[in-house]
Amino acid sequence: MDPIVADWISLALRWAHVMVGIMWIGTSFHFIWLDASLRREQGMPEGLAGASWMVHGGGFYRASKFLVAPPEMPADLHWFKYEAYFTWITGFLLLAVIYYLGASDLLIDPRVMELTPWSAIGISVGGLAAGWVVYDLLCRSPIGDRTGILAFLVFVLACAAAYGFTQVFSGRAAFVHIGAFLGTIMAANVFFIIIPNQKKVVAALVAGQSPDPALGKRAKQRSLHNNYLTLPVVLMMISNHYPMMFEHEHNWLIVVGILLFSGLVRLYANLKNSGASGSPVTAILFYAAMVGMAAIGYASYRPGADLAAVGPVTIADVQAIMAHRCQACHSATPTDIAYRVPPKGIAFDTRDQIERMAPQIERVVVLTKAMPLGNKTGMLPEERLKIAKWLSDAETEVE
């Protein structure tokens, strides 16, 4: 496909994906919050779990929850499902346009594993599908009734996905895949469990029978899992702008930290919303901060290279290396067929352009090895050292 056309399609899909994703997560957060804010009131009829008063946009709202269902089918019932479906569909198309069409650039990193584009795409699709199957089996097994053990096993499954994807794909693609893996579980929960169970409840109501409470309970369990998965999914989806997370020898461990951190933050928020307080609740925030700082520290630690042995490096040497390793893509007229314009508008055609980008070059060449993308142009370790030396000399000059 023409790279410019691919860019426009990717922009349209990304816009749509972010929009429907906001709607999905917005409703999901609202309903979890609503559930937690329900209070029993004096004289409230038996079938009601509670009610919540809200004020928004110049008016007061009162929502009450029926457990399991109202005695009769309401005339006008609103469903929330298309947000989830369209988030998954636009997300998968985006994954295909960016990572399947650009598999050799973005999905595959020969330093991680030498794959052909088709085998990489096969692993991607297979991995996402397998994630749902394993997760669903866990929930349906006898463990499904033990909330704590189930939560722990879902966490282990997410860690296994993090480990697995980082062993086969480029760091950037692996992180997006971990997000897609969890996002697929979330959307499939809505499609295969939550909505069908709600439909069964509605059908029972219409038939004048009393619905099975287990249906609502199971849907609620999946919905709570979705609530816990939201934070890590969103972080994984925006992670590709931050090589300091995905360009790390043990990048999957950083993902484990992210999962723990966001799980604790969600736990805290959910407890708070349901009215809990006191030092055990506040302590959760403290644990989250500890995990977060440990993950940041671990991700940031990069042993400095020994530059003493590297001889003097001139800007001409740097220009020669960049011409060789970067300009195929980063030039006003890229020669790499995947680009018609330099990625992110970054070109290294002149000395001035290189000098102005020095801090970014340090980030992607020295501190991480995010560039060249997938090391497509075969940059050598000694070339990275030379760039590091040039940057450190430039720094001493400024001081």
Residue 338 buriedness (CB in 10 A; 0-12 / 13-18 / 19+): middle
Nearest to 91 by CA among 195, 186, 168: 186
Q: Is 266 in the site for ligand HEC (CB under 6 A)?
A: no
Place of tokens 């934070």: 231
Q: Which of 104, 270, 377, 392 binds ligand HEC (CB under 6 A)?
A: 377
Provide, rounded to whole angstroms, the least separation between the CB of residue 327 and ligand HEC: 8
Taking CB under 6 A as the criterion, which residues in 309-328 touch ligand HEC? 322, 325-326, 328
Task: Copy the structure tokens of residue 359.
Answer: 């801090």
Cis peptide before 68 (omega within 30 of 0): yes
Distance CA 114, CA 103 (A): 12
Question: Residue of minimal CB distance from ligand HEC?
Answer: 326
Q: Which of 13, 101, 168, 329 binds ligand HEC (CB under 6 A)?
A: 329
Provide, rounded to whole angstroms, the least separation between the CB of residue 364 and ligand HEC: 5
Place of tokens 């530059």: 307
Q: Is 112 in the site for ligand HEC (CB under 6 A)?
A: no
Distance CA 385, CA 308 (A): 10
Spell out, one character per residue from 53 to 92, where the chain touches ligand HEC: x when CB under 6 A holds, - when not: ----------------------------------------
Provide, rounded to whole angstroms, the least separation between the CB of residue 336 and ligand HEC: 5
Task: Copy the structure tokens of residue 129.
Answer: 């599908």
- Which CB, 108 or 328, lies closer to ligand HEC? 328
- Which CB, 84 or 379, lies closer to ligand HEC? 379
Provide, rounded to whole angstroms, the least separation between the CB of residue 352 and ligand HEC: 15
Nearest to 222 by CA among 297, 132, 97, 288: 132
Q: Which of 69, 236, 259, 361 binds ligand HEC (CB under 6 A)?
A: 361
Q: Is 9 in the site for ligand HEC (CB under 6 A)?
A: no
Q: Which of 343, 358, 367, 385 binds ligand HEC (CB under 6 A)?
A: 343
Amino acid letter, residue 246: F
Residue 29 buriedness (CB in 10 A; 0-12 / 13-18 / 19+): middle
Residue 42 buriedness (CB in 10 A; 0-12 / 13-18 / 19+): exposed
Q: Which of 90, 230, 239, 240 binds ligand HEC (CB under 6 A)?
A: 240
Amino acid letter, residue 306: D
Q: Is 331 in the site for ligand HEC (CB under 6 A)?
A: no
What are the residues binding ligand HEC (CB under 6 A)? 105, 240-241, 322, 325-326, 328-330, 336, 343-344, 346, 357, 360-361, 364-365, 371-373, 376-377, 379
